[in-house]
Amino acid sequence: MAFQIALNFEDGATRFIDCNPGEKVLDAAYRNKVNLPMDCSDGVCGTCKCRAEQGDYEMGEDYIDDALTAQEAEEGLVLTCQMVPSSDCIIAVPVPSSACKLKPAEHGATLTSVEMVSDSTIIVTMNVDKPEALHFLPGQYVNITVPGAGEHRSYSFSSKPGAAQASFLMRNVPGGLMSGWLADKAEPGAKMQFVGPQGSFFLRGIDRPVVMLAGGTGLAPLLSMLEVLADEGTAQPIHLIYGVTKDGDLVEMDRIEALADRLPTFTWACCVADPDSAQPLKGYVTQHLKDEHLNAGDCDVYLCGPPPMVEAVRTFFTEKGVSPAHFHYEKFASSEPVPA
């Protein structure tokens, strides 16, 4: 049975390849037409050095210390010309995908529904033309072309990898190009195109308590992560704090509750910044982030929200004197026009 290797490049592009048992990653990449950096392929030069972020593998002894020191190996660095996976793996490649002559992966889909679930949020679902060809890590995003406009906007999956139907939480931007198309022109059956996956914000292995912080539609990638965790299970506590501006901005509450039913170690809370909110928790996510959640810093934090929220959380950690074991975050803002 082949293993799935996710190659996450410096520019955020991700390409998935299959690696046969006993096969070296560099050989598997070339077989999959991915030109990873290399010079010698013999464990001598170190040109193919990357970082294994997740998964099990063997390195053997057929390389020299100048190419990969014992300390580097201990820190998770690998030589892809020597690395033999024994499970699915995620590998960070320290060059942009263009340096490996990779073109962005393109995908087609059919629009199935557009739900204006609040003044600020639109839930969009699509049936993917070739779901078997769409691979992504939970938390990643794609660039979706606005039909007829020749421009794209970036959106994180709220659905889990492997699902035939892709879903997204899209911010309803007044006067926005995608928002306008969805509100005025979109109809079920419309053909959609997107490119990706992209991004270094994705779920890693769960080795300690996890804190998830979502602001508005920043909930989307965390839902994708939670779907995977609910399927796979974990003994570690997972706590989500979901913050919005107004009561009407709260979405996917039933879905979050259903995830809590499937994942016994998962707890969550929502808070609303509006002081006149009907919700019991008011204010910002940092006001409801407790010491028990942070576990004296022995926790992994996943944060997705607008830039002011991200900076506020970083300031909160600094002032509190807490440094999480891992702090993964992604900022989002209204998109500027970008050629598709």
Residue 262: give its domain's CATH number: 3.40.50.80
CATH number of the domain where residue 57 is located: 3.10.20.30
Q: According to the model, what pLDDT value does residue 38 have? A: 86
296-337 residue pLDDT tens: 999 999 999 999 999 999 999 999 899 999 999 987 765 444
- 50 plus 155 within the same structural domain: no
Does residue 139 fall inside a structural domain? yes
One domain for residues 323 and 231: yes
Q: Which residue has the tokens 């509750």?
A: 257
| Helices and strands in the chain, H and E counts | 7, 18
Q: In the prediction, which pLDDT does 336 show?
A: 43
Over residues 122-149, mean pLDDT: 93
CB count in 10 Å sphere of residue 295: 17
pLDDT at site 333: 63
As a whole-number percent, the residues of the chain with pLDDT over 70 amount to 98
Q: What is the mean pLDDT of residues 90-108?
A: 88
pLDDT-based confidence at residue 39 (cuts at 50, 70, 90): confident
Q: What is the C-alpha to C-alpha distance for residues 337 and 236, in angstroms, rounded to an integer?
A: 41
Lowest mean pLDDT among 70-74, 97-101, 231-235, 321-325: 97-101
Q: Would residue 337 count as lying in a domain?
A: no
Cα separation, 299 vs 208, whole angstroms:
6
281: in domain: yes
The pLDDT value recorded for residue 339 is 37
Do 125 and 191 lie in a common domain? yes
Identify the domain containing residue 132 by its residue range: 106-198
Higher model confidence: residue 67 or residue 129?
A: 129
Whether 224 and 160 map to the same domain: the answer is no
Are 216 and 284 found together in one domain? Answer: yes
Flag whether 55 is in a domain.
yes
pLDDT at 204 over 80: yes
What the block records as the tokens of 153 is: 């906007």
Last residue of a domain, one of 73, 100, 127: 100
- 203: in domain: no
Q: Is residue 183 part of a domain?
A: yes
Specify the number of domains making up the chain: 3
- pLDDT higher at 337 or 76: 76
Q: For residues 150-161, give the mean pLDDT.
A: 93
Q: Given pLDDT bands bounded at 50, 70 and 90, which one contains residue 98?
A: confident
Mean pLDDT value across residues 71-80: 91
> What tokens appear for 48 in the block?
């193919």
Residues 228-271: tens digit of each pLDDT: 999 999 999 999 999 999 999 999 999 999 999 999 999 999 99
Query: Which residue, chain included where needed, has tokens 């421009």?
Result: 151
Q: Are residues 77 and 152 in the same domain?
A: no
Co-location of 37 and 136 in the same domain? no
**Co-location of 94 and 118 in the same domain:** no
CATH code, domain with 141: 2.40.30.10
Cα–Cα distance between 130 and 15 in angstroms, integer?
16
User: What amino acid occupies position 172?
Assistant: N
Strands 326-331 and 300-305: parallel
**Which SS3 state, helix, strand or coil, does residue 267 take?**
strand
Identify the domain boundary among 79, 100, 121: 100
DSSP 145: E
Note whether 93 and 115 are same-domain residues: no
- Specify the pLDDT at position 334: 53
Please answer whether residues 79 and 63 qualify as being in contact, where contact means their C-beta atoms are separated by less than 8 angstroms: yes
Residues 118 and 228 reside in one and the same domain: no
Average pLDDT, the chain: 91
Beta bridge partners of 54: 90
Among 171, 198, 225, which residue terminates a domain?
Answer: 198
Same domain? For 94 and 137 the reply is no
Q: Both 184 and 270 in a single domain?
A: no
